[in-house]
Structure 1
């Protein structure tokens, strides 16, 4: 028996003997290292929908309410809560893992959590490995600077609360391991007031959740395609229940959230080889600007003026009802769905670009015209219609974005089953992310044509120009009346 198996055996014994987890006899923890899946939960018998797989009492979770730190430092819990869910749990887990060690109630559980050498989130990738993810925008969301600020906050809290002797020597590597483990394995557990009679308060729902480490629940692997179980809450425990029949020998899967492969890799350090159900690619504003310049022969200065006016003109802002439509990037989903914000933005800016003589109009007239165009385009999109130019620029922008990816993206066929070289594994995972994004973008190439009725640009333009003319006539009539 190797160390992995010994740790598994100790953990399984701890679950029942110390953590008081009630486990169904129809499941067991299995070693799936041969397929790079680590520990997993397997059905040892057929399981029906709604069957309870296991139940965990709240006191066996690790959070700012249950940690031993509360007994050793009376009154610290309120300060941990003020520090925030993330930072508070980081300090609690550091206390249990780094300071208490084998004296911690959760030691057998912490022995099956990942080490710095097995964590695979993007925080642990070097620059050369990260380069394989270009041009994915996930590179902008790694969050290393934010993590360093969090580390400084934790260090300051330790000193301010008299814990320098126990946690004062926590290194960046120690902090990063704990923070990455929390990102990969923690749950936001809904807390139910024992005096609650069943009435729900949506406004307080977020504040009632408690970021927690949940032993056993985090042993389940996750898959957006294969999810067959989920976690339920009551006043004293968490229950993992089957949401569909699970056959003997099948793996029990949870889901970590509605994340694309890029976020699954960033947060949890793995990818779904067949892509996530929630994959999307992102069309950047730079792709849109390039498409506009090619189609309408406008320059950056003119386009930038439109972008700024759409963002800061008070009259135009009222049309959007506090929604932002000028974004740095727009999601295009593997389902073929594209954001309404993207459609509306493209409709407005393409219509504005084809107004005769618009570049020579003065500032006042330009803004007036843009407001009129915006109002009319909102009505058009709300009626599920767009113009041909809007559709054309959408396709041009998506193709421009696709051209930024390696040419063989979609053809890549991953296989990590017998791969031990971490560099090759990470290179392969990067290729899976790029493939997922390219597939989503490709699916969305024709989305506008499928979801909206395409009308001729001139039809919309005539309506806008006509209204402008009518407005000028009304203004002249008003002036004549004043002269009389």
Structure 2
């Protein structure tokens, strides 16, 4: 974002009754991070950086398009998922200066580095990783504002920048032709207030929203709904997904959060959570996702010092997924019975078909339990199934041997080796890589380091286990000879 656009955005924001302390907070460009917020002066803890009127958030609840379309909005399923919000953003952008959010939409990115926009060659680098109304949508605007490319663009904007802004207790939906009973609407939209916070204010927590093209959703905020119906507890209202001007200007980085968005009845406000020195960037980070998620959702990756047992630069939040079918394929070669019944039982009882390895390089307990289930003798398997009791995650040499084969096989799913990726990222070669390829290499290298570290740990334990078994065998043999001698 250029300095002129940033200045225009701040002017627009304040003209729409947003309040920014421009003496302390500035919007600038950060190399490698794009635009972001910076502290212009020292900022104390618990200081309000800016406030945003609720009606300035852009959602299907605040946009007038749903009301204009009437019953057709629901007939076309636009009240579910992200399609409605994407269409609202496209429509508002097509209105130009007539749109309340024109000053905001003009600042949003028009290009993304997320894999949705990558070509086949770049995508291969990630191998192995985790309604038409002419009165509202004039034909002459279709190619510029309502193309599939713009649809994907709006979806990516939501994926990378949106927040979940739930209704305040007693607030009525806007732009919805089917209004429910007032009291019922108030009850189902009530929000719990954290007792540790000031009355009338709630700190928001991260959640996942309805996905676009199967993605997990954006990094955003949630305050739990006070709804006694357990069937609705996990239901997320698509109308809660909103674009929040100014709040989405803040960048994110691993364990760097120093500001958080808070809800109040008529506005949202960004508040510092720790002192921020002049010149420091203001970060709004919710959770510390792995690089695979950062790339898919935001188009960037984190590189910070790793914690032991790993070393170098990477993302301490990285993970590797190991599919259950990979484990089954290895275990099936070690046993003489069919594993289908056991796998079906596991999926019914545990519902885990993917196991996650983290940067601590320890085998996940669920993975160990699953391997033990596959290896149980027939009588023990029947007892476990009868009692609906999962095997304890106990490591032994048989489990460790299976784990070694699984990890080695998982490493072979990548198109390159760990050493080849490290060579690609060497200072003398990294400049030769495109941005997309550099990101892909960083993602897969982080995963390979976890796999290699876990494999090293498992091999050490397997050797120790084999040594213990041999020692026990010799002791038993000596004991047996002693008994014969005494006879």
Does TM, normalized by the shorter one, top 0.5? yes
Task: Report the counterpart of residue 39 of structure 2 in structure 1.
Answer: 43
Q: Which of 165, 168, 171 is matched with 1:189 structurally? A: 165
* C-alpha contact (below 8 Å) 2:52/2:269 kept by paired residues: yes
Task: Report the counterpart of residue 201 of structure 1 in structure 2.
Answer: 227
Alignment of 1:388-407 (within 5 A): 388-405=397-414, 406-407=416-417
RMSD across aligned positions (CA): 3.7
Matched, 1:334 2:310: no
Q: Which of 140, 162, 165 is matched with 2:138 structurally? A: 165
Task: Report the counterpart of residue 21 of structure 1 in structure 2.
Answer: 19
Distance 1:20-1:451 versus aligned 2 partners, 3 A rule: farther
Residues 228-237 or 406-415, more deviating: 406-415
TM-score under structure 1 length normalisation? 0.71
Q: Distance in 1 between the 2:122 and 2:255 partners? A: 27
Task: Report the counterpart of residue 482 of structure 1 in structure 2.
Answer: none
* C-alpha contact (below 8 Å) 1:80/1:88 kept by paired residues: no
Secondary structure at the counterpart of residue 95 of structure 2? helix
Secondary structure at the counterpart of residue 138 of structure 2? helix
Post-superposition CA distance 1:35-73 (Å, at most 9, x none): 222111011122233222211111111001211425655
Cα deviation for residue 176 of structure 1 reads: 1.2
Q: Which sections of structure 2, spanning at least 5 residues, go unmatched?
A: 171-185, 194-225, 305-313, 471-487
Distance 1:242-1:71 versus aligned 2 partners, 3 A rule: same
Q: Distance in 2 between the 1:74 and 1:451 partners? A: 65
Q: Distance in 2 between the 1:222 and 1:439 partners? A: 24
Alignment of 1:318-467 (within 5 A): 322-325=349-352, 327=353, 329-336=354-361, 338-352=363-377, 370-372=381-383, 378=389, 381=392, 385-405=394-414, 406-407=416-417, 408=419, 409=421, 413=425, 424-445=434-455
Task: Report the counterpart of residue 89 of structure 2 in structure 1.
Answer: 93
Cα deviation for residue 450 of structure 1 reads: 11
Task: Report the counterpart of residue 179 of structure 1 in structure 2.
Answer: 155
Q: Distance in 2 between the 1:447 and 1:15 partners? A: 54
Q: Distance in 2 between the 1:232 and 1:185 partners? A: 16
Q: Distance in 2 between the 1:414 and 1:93 partners? A: 42
* C-alpha contact (below 8 Å) 1:348/1:374 kept by paired residues: no
Task: Report the counterpart of residue 262 of structure 1 in structure 2.
Answer: 292
Post-superposition CA distance 1:74-114 (Å, at most 9, x none): 677777886214111011101111x2023212112112111
Cα deviation for residue 309 of structure 1 reads: 0.4
* C-alpha contact (below 8 Å) 2:368/2:394 kept by paired residues: no
Secondary structure at the counterpart of residue 105 of structure 1? coil
Cα deviation for residue 132 of structure 1 reads: 1.1
Secondary structure at the counterpart of residue 437 of structure 1? helix
Cα deviation for residue 380 of structure 1 reads: 5.2
TM-score under structure 2 length normalisation? 0.71
Cα deviation for residue 162 of structure 1 reads: 6.3
Cα deviation for residue 232 of structure 1 reads: 1.7
Task: Report the counterpart of residue 49 of structure 2 in structure 1.
Answer: 53
Q: Which of 277, 292, 301 is matched with 1:247 structurally? A: 277
Secondary structure at the counterpart of residue 386 of structure 1? coil
Equivalent residue pairs, number? 398
Secondary structure at the counterpart of residue 58 of structure 2? coil
Cα deviation for residue 212 of structure 1 reads: 0.5
Secondary structure at the counterpart of residue 245 of structure 1? coil
Q: Distance in 1 between the 2:236 and 2:118 partners? A: 33
Distance 1:75-1:57 versus aligned 2 partners, 3 A rule: farther
Secondary structure at the counterpart of residue 264 of structure 1? helix
Post-superposition CA distance 1:141-199 (Å, at most 9, x none): xxxxxxxxxxxxxxxx335x964436755211121111111111111123221365858
Cα deviation for residue 244 of structure 1 reads: 2.3
Secondary structure at the counterpart of residue 444 of structure 2? helix
Task: Report the counterpart of residue 116 of structure 2 in structure 1.
Answer: 123
Q: Which of 102, 109, 114 is matched with 1:114 structurally? A: 109
Q: Distance in 2 between the 1:370 and 1:109 partners? A: 61
Q: Distance in 2 between the 1:449 and 1:376 partners? A: 33
Which is richer in helix? 1
